[in-house]
Amino acid sequence: MVDHAFDGLHVALIMDGNGRWAQARGWPRLAGHRAGAETVRRVVEAAPGLGIGTLTLYAFSSDNWKRPQDEISGLFRLFARYMRQEAAKLKKQGVRFEVIGRRDRLPGPLVSLIEETERATSECGKLRLRVAVDYSSRDAIIRAVEAGARDRASISASLGPDVDLLVRTSGEQRLSDFLLWENAYAEFAFTDAAWPDFTAAGLRDMIEDFRRRDRRFGAVAPARLQALR
């Protein structure tokens, strides 16, 4: 695997509201997840042009095992279909695909497909696409420590890059055990739009707003510091 730097912003997306979007239309919840997959495709295609180097998507949390079994099975079938349909396109577009989270509880054929897609795109360097499946940030931090990480640098190296912008759709405003360590200094953006209605243009507007923010990371802004002297 080539170790690319993936220059650009790290944007993390909590893709919320698929089921409610479908139910509001009198459709089964899985129809919302299918519509959400199309949104993923649009956002991934737009990401490099928006200055994004790493895109992390929250697809299935460890707490989502509490959902009805038919919905879980449908989600995994949809995820497998996405990889089969998009693997060649991702490689052509220079997108390196990765899955973070546990794999021991996923169906064996799905794990094989994940590994196959990761191998096929391992040398791509335009965009790093990370999909969180059976993911818990608390558990990820515990695993990092159990594996020997003992300081900030080693824990960060184990977990992944810091997030610049965290986006959550469908009006929710919480982290839900997603990238807790990596979001330490992230800027947040929220929208009432359900994930199937989220657009690349909407993400562009959020990034433009993000670039206007004053990120100080605990320090005093230079202009403010000068005024205090």
The Cβ of residue 118 has, within 10 Å, a number of other Cβ atoms equal to 16
The Cβ of residue 165 has, within 10 Å, a number of other Cβ atoms equal to 22
3-state secondary structure of 183: coil
SS3 content of the chain, % helix, strand, coil (to 5): 50, 15, 35
Instruction: State the catalytic residues.
Output: 16, 64
200-212 as b/e: b if 16+ CB within 10 A: bebbeebbeebee
- Residue positions counted in the chain: 229
Asked whether 8 and 54 are in contact (CB, 8 A), the reply is yes
* Separation CA 194–CA 19 (nearest Å): 9
Burial class (CB in 10 A: 0-12, 13-18, 19+), 169: buried
